[in-house]
């Protein structure tokens, strides 16, 4: 029976749990964030209320400031694990801009090989690293917007309250873009999906 063939663990349990908790947390943060944005838009558009969370500003703020704990604590566990276990070093490094660009070009031509799911190609490494950076920027700018006086020192080197609002918005846009590309890639290479649930991939016999 195929199921009895040895399977290789490619996504450790911590990573899988953190991934799905993050899916929920980021979904809460972004959709409630859109509703908050609508209360005082930075640009000449608003997000359609149907895709926002919270119903009105107070509701959205409640979701945002409840979701932030889930998002931040889960993120801390993930970062601590990724750094301490060597998971980041093994999976995301080495990485070079030329390799990332090369693999993105190959992917756009539909020629990017992805046979060994246990190794990320350079396009994946670039995307996942960018996502991690964007999520960290989200937390830092979020702290400055939430507590511009108590975290004034932080605002000093990432731009004060008003600048933090814009960076918070653009980091959200980057995250939304990476998530959309990520989901499209999973649809194109569907066998990657169960591995983020079971963590395992059957070895070719």
Partner 1 sequence: MNEKFELLRTPSIANLERRLFLKRGLSLGALALLAGCDLTDQESVQRVLMAMSRWNDGAQQWLFSPQRLAPEFPESRITRPFPFNAYYSEDEVVEVDGSSYKLELAGMIRERKPWTLAELYALPQVSQVTRHICVEGWSAIGKWSGVRFSDFLARIGADTSAKYVGFQCADDYYGSIDMATALHPQTIIALRYGDEILPPKYGYPMKLRIPTKLGFKNPKHITAMFVTNEYPGGYWEDKGYNWFSGS
Distance of closest approach, residue 30 Cβ to partner 1, in angstroms:
16
Footprint of partner 1 on this chain (CB under 8 A)? 3-4, 6-9, 36-37, 39-40, 57-59, 61-63, 65-66, 69, 146-150, 152, 160-162, 165, 198
7 vs 176, which CB is nearer to partner 1? Answer: 7
32 vs 127, which CB is nearer to partner 1? Answer: 32
81 vs 161, which CB is nearer to partner 1? Answer: 161
- Cβ-contact 164, 145 below 8 angstroms: yes
Using alpha carbons, list the distances in angstroms from residue 111 to 106, 117, 124, 187: 5, 16, 14, 16
Distance of closest approach, residue 39 Cβ to partner 1, in angstroms:
4
Determine the Cα angle at 128 with ends 72 and 187, to 5°: 110
Distance of closest approach, residue 99 Cβ to partner 1, in angstroms:
26
Rg (CA), the chain: 19
Determine the Cα angle at 106 with ends 102 and 109, to 5°: 145
96 vs 156, which CB is nearer to partner 1? Answer: 156
The CB density around residue 105, as the number of other CB atoms within 10 Å, is 12
């Amino acid at each position: 029976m195929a199921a009895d063939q040895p399977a290789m663990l490619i996504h450790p349990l911590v990573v899988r749990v953190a991934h799905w908790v993050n899916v929920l947390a980021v979904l809460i943060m972004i959709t409630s964030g859109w509703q908050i944005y609508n209360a005082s838009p930075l640009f000449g558009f608003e997000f359609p209320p149907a895709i926002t969370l919270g119903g009105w500003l107070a509701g959205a703020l409640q979701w945002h400031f409840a979701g932030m704990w889930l998002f931040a604590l889960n993120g801390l566990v993930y970062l601590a694990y990724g750094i301490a276990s060597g998971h980041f070093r093994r999976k995301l490094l080495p990485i070079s801009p030329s390799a990332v660009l090369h693999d993105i070009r190959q992917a756009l031509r539909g020629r990017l090989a992805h046979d060994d799911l246990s190794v990320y190609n350079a396009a994946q490494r670039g995307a996942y690293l960018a996502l991690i950076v964007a999520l960290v920027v989200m937390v830092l700018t979020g702290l400055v917007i939430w507590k511009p006086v108590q975290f004034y020192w932080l605002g000093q080197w990432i731009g004060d309250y008003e600048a933090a609002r814009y960076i918070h918005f653009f980091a959200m846009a980057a995250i939304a873009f990476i998530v959309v590309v990520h989901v499209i890639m999973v649809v194109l290479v569907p066998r990657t999906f169960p591995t983020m649930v079971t963590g395992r991939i059957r070895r070719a016999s």
